Amino acid sequence: MPSQAERKRARTRTKPNVARKVKSSSFSWEAVAFAILIAAASSTYYYFNYSKISLLPVSSESTEQDFKEDVPRTPWEPTPDNSIFNVVDIPGKGKGVIAGRDIKQGELVLRDRPLFILPRAINGSPIEPIIEKLTQLTPEEQEAFFELSFVNFPTHLNPEEHPAEVALAIFQTNAVSTGDGVGIFPTMARLNHGCSSAFNVVYMWRPEENQIVVHALKDVKQGEELITTYTNTRRPRDQRRAFLQDHYGFHCTCAVCSLPDDLSKASDERLSKISYLYEKFAGWGRQEIDGTQAIEYIREIWRIENEEGYTSERGSLSADAAWIAAAHSDANATQAWAEKAIHWFTAEIGADTPQVVTLEVIVDHPQRHRAWGTRDAMDVGGPDQASGESGFNLSK
């Protein structure tokens, strides 16, 4: 997926005939298969952080797709350059994606269909199914695949002479989770990574549409790089960098990782506090805290996120708050949090999602929330109006 500096070293322009010389590998395929699972799992940033306490029914349902081998493949097409972005060479980072014009928060930036999808679990060598899929692609699609960057190529092998291993390395580097499968999305793969407040677009797999959609989490100025995140970055810089080095082969130099040490330390403390508070509020699901306490944790998360400039996952956070409010039969709070959730889900994953459609009903009829009245009645409170959200283009 990424094209950061280190992976540039391993890059090759080889476009081999993939139908030949597949069998001559000297790899341990078992080890490689394991590595694929690790890389792919770490690519599912948005899914696995979707709802900390799995409160919202639509969020848990959306993770339950079966892998369907027999679904007819929709041909991949290069995204037409319609001015919203351009894929360009970025010094020190390989390829990257630049906004071709100003982009508004919540705008749909990209739809990308997979070149192919493989099951998450593969028995035996993963190289054969990869090659099989590649041989089914058009020459243009094959070219799109082999133009992607890769890391962790065995140093004792020459990429020019080992196209099958190159294909595998590309797959490992770029595969993104699609529920029970892992897929290759050639345009989306060009998005580079940033941590915490440094990413400005978010991707999501839509199984019913067989595509990944990318939305702008924040306003983006023309000429700015569009940056997504490959993992949960609500952890300190050292941990983020170690993870990204291990899984994606680059040393992160995003705007947050590049902060001077004192500012970086302050950011680390905020991110650690946010993670800590997420765990605390999840205690509501285990009946360890009451609704008022849970909502106060959520408000505190919100305040610290404002300081940090971290605005991702607020749709699911607000939806969880709406769930808690509904469970305690607090109609006003349910409505207020549902409105928040609609706003942020719309920005991050789109207005045409089941999350938004479901919550629109709840805004008008809070008593129809499926959690309604399942805990003791209590005024838990709505969003913290005093904290404000200036700078994030919010009207709600």
Residue 257 Cβ vs Zn ion, minimum distance, rounded to whole Å: 3
Which one of residues 176, 191, 257, 298 is an interface residue with Zn ion (CB under 5 A)?
257
Does 252 contact Zn ion by CB under 5 A? yes
Residues 9-68 that bind Zn ion (CB under 5 A): none
Residues 355, 347 contacting (CB under 8 angstroms): no
Site residue total, Zn ion (CB under 5 A): 4
Residues 171, 165 contacting (CB under 8 angstroms): no
- Both tokens assigned to 103: 């982009």
- Both tokens assigned to 234: 């609500």
CA geometry: angle 15, 17, 21, nearest 5 deg: 120
| H or E stretch at 192 | strand 192-193
Listed ranges 83-91, 194-202, 272-280, 323-331: which one lies at the site for Zn ion (CB under 5 A): 194-202
Which one of residues 109, 254, 336, 349 is an interface residue with Zn ion (CB under 5 A)?
254
Cα distance between residue 32 and residue 10, in whole Å: 17
Query: Closer CB to Zn ion, residue 195 or residue 220?
Result: 195
Does 168 contact Zn ion by CB under 5 A? no
Residues 87, 96 contacting (CB under 8 angstroms): yes
Residue 5 Cβ vs Zn ion, minimum distance, rounded to whole Å: 13
Query: Closer CB to Zn ion, residue 144 or residue 252?
Result: 252
Residue 255 Cβ vs Zn ion, minimum distance, rounded to whole Å: 8
Bridge partners, 98 (sequence order): 86, 225
Query: Closer CB to Zn ion, residue 197 or residue 346?
Result: 197
Query: Closer CB to Zn ion, residue 113 or residue 240?
Result: 240
Query: Closer CB to Zn ion, residue 39 or residue 252?
Result: 252
Does 151 contact Zn ion by CB under 5 A? no
| H or E stretch at 281 | helix 261-282
Bridge partners, 89 (sequence order): 95
Query: Closer CB to Zn ion, residue 161 or residue 238?
Result: 238
Residue 203 Cβ vs Zn ion, minimum distance, rounded to whole Å: 17
Cα distance between residue 187 and residue 98, in whole Å: 12
The DSSP call for residue 157 is: S
Dihedral (Cα; 92, 97, 98, 102), 10-degree rounding:
-150
Residue 106 Cβ vs Zn ion, minimum distance, rounded to whole Å: 24
Does 195 contact Zn ion by CB under 5 A? yes
Query: Closer CB to Zn ion, residue 53 or residue 259?
Result: 259
Does 202 contact Zn ion by CB under 5 A? no
What 3-state DSSP class applies to 292? helix
List residues near Zn ion by CB under 5 A: 195, 252, 254, 257
